[in-house]
């Protein structure tokens, strides 16, 4: 099960897992894109808002009813609503991050991850096996200018990952997180050329990540080769430290 798989990293993860023979079940709010990806990989698509518990629960139950088990959950879905905590000009407050934009990012990125994990974990406990991999970000580790809401959500995901690894290890359910660096998704490709050049110049390996780089990391952590790895946040970032 992969959330937010209609495009970008989520799509790359879905394609990569399908290449390895996995039965891939994806969700997204983008019905057209999600349906196209599902057709390409021979999997299933459900339109799901991960911030809505009932929708998530119905999706998990449908997947389990169709396949009899849930082996891997990739919590990839996320949104951005960047902005400064406060903006001041000439000593006067002129703007601040809207409460609704803070709430939206927390609801999707943090609560959405919680909702999906809580929906699938009972099935994994029953089968005495499972893997959950959560999407965080390097900014969840390093912080980043203008991203109070996003950083808070991604730092929270790292914390939940550590807690779940400890709580669920007794059931042979592993929980890890991936922290991508600057990755050349469709959204990033639309950024100004100077911004892209800056990202590359701050990355020691001298290039931006490709969605496949991130997908390969997800594949490794989901595999039996990572059977003794749980509770970690794996940076896949070309060596960058945000803000330097």
How confident is the model over 131-182, as pLDDT tens digits? 999 999 999 999 888 999 999 999 999 999 999 999 999 999 999 999 999 8
Task: Give the strand pairing for 130-135 and 72-75.
Answer: parallel
Q: Encoding tokens for residue 156?
A: 């929270």
Which domains, and CATH codes, for the chain? 2-236 (3.40.50.720)
Q: Cα 93 to chain center, whole Å?
A: 34
**Quick one: average pLDDT of 3-23?**
97
Alpha carbon distance 175, 130 (integer Å): 9
Report pLDDT digits (tens) over 67-117: 999 999 999 999 999 999 999 999 999 999 999 999 999 999 999 999 999
- DSSP element (H, E) containing 88: strand 86-89
Cβ count near 137 (within 10 Å): 28
Q: Please check whether residue 116 is in contact with residue 72, taking contact to mean a CB–CB distance below 8 angstroms.
A: no
β 25-28/2-3 pair status: parallel
Q: Let me know if 218 is a catalytic residue.
A: no
- Which listed residue (150, 164, 182, 218) is catalytic? 150
- C-beta neighbour count of 157 within 10 angstroms: 24
């Amino acid at each position: 099960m992969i959330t937010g798989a209609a495009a970008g990293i989520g799509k790359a993860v879905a394609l990569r897992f399908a290449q390895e023979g996995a039965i891939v079940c994806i969700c997204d709010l983008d019905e057209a894109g999600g349906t196209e990806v599902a057709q390409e990989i021979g999997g299933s698509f459900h339109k799901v808002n991960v911030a809505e518990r009932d929708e998530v629960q119905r999706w998990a139950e449908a997947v389990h009813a169709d396949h009899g088990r849930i082996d891997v959950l990739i919590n990839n879905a996320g949104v951005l609503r960047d902005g400064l905590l406060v903006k001041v000009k000439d000593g006067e407050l002129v703007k601040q991050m809207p409460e609704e934009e803070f709430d939206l990012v927390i609801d999707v990125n943090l609560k959405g991850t919680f909702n999906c994990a809580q929906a699938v974990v009972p099935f994994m406990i029953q089968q005495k096996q499972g893997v959950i991999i959560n999407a965080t970000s390097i900014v969840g580790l390093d912080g980043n200018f203008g991203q109070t809401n996003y950083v808070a959500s991604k730092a929270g995901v790292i914390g939940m990952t550590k807690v779940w690894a400890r709580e669920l290890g007794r059931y042979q359910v592993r929980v890890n997180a991936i922290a991508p660096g600057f990755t050349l998704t469709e959204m990033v490709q639309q950024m100004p050329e100077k911004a892209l050049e800056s990202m590359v110049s701050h990355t020691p390996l001298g290039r931006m990540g490709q969605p496949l780089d991130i997908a390969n990391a997800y594949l490794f952590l989901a595999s039996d080769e990572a059977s003794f790895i749980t509770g970690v946040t794996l940076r896949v970032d070309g060596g960058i430290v945000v803000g330097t």
